Amino acid sequence: MTISIINKSNNSLPAYETAHAAGMDLRANLEESIRLNPMERKLIPTGLYIELPVGFEAQIRPRSGLAFKHGIGIVNSPGTIDADYRGEIKVLLINFGAEAFEINHGDRIAQMVIAKHETVSWSQVEVLNDTTRGEGGFGHTAVK
Ligand SMILES: O=c1ccn([C@H]2C[C@H](O)[C@@H](COP(=O)(O)OP(=O)(O)OP(=O)(O)O)O2)c(=O)[nH]1
Ligand SMILES: [Mg+2]
């Protein structure tokens, strides 16, 4: 599948880093480096604008390496890029680590997964069909 993209940065386009990767890494588009202090969050621009086909979304997910090594996450993870969004893709990074973290232009800060989604309508009812689980949740299967 081919998707239209505008790249206002001088970074390379998001790309799959291995043959069967699900995510394409996104790079920061910065005029100057950004410092994220512990527990600080900042919106990081990518310079990318995409035109998703109807019925698709793009999910903006953290990179596990940055999470493991530096405690870097995404506040609204996974971020959702809607098919009708024409603005710049931005990434809301947060530093859960104990040390300040510097983001430089071109750094791979997140990954983007393109996914299909359903669009549903509701059938409002009074009763739902019964299941073995019923209303059990939030750990109700844990061994006592
Ligand atoms: O990590 C993200 C999440 C969202 N967006 C863009 C694309 C998305 O289509 C739009 C709106 O996102 P969302 O629906 O999550 O935010 P909202 O707070 O509900 O804003 P809106 O009222 O504009 O829908 O913002 C990003 O660039 N990065
Ligand atoms: Mg919304």
DSSP string, 40-72: -EEEEE--EEEEPPTTEEEEEE--HHHHHHH-E
- Mean predicted lDDT score pLDDT of the chain: 97
Atom number of ligand 1 nearest to Cα 76: 1
Residue 137 scores a pLDDT above 90: yes
Known binding residue 119? Answer is: no
| Separation CA 85–CA 126 (nearest Å) | 36
Q: Which residues line ligand 1 (CB under 6 A)?
A: 60, 76, 79-82, 85, 89-92
Residue 17 scores a pLDDT above 80: yes
Known binding residue 131? Answer is: no
Provide the whole-model pTM: 0.95
Atom number of ligand 1 nearest to Cα 85: 9
Residue 144 scores a pLDDT above 90: no
Known binding residue 141? Answer is: no
| Separation CA 61–CA 129 (nearest Å) | 34
Residue 82 scores a pLDDT above 80: yes
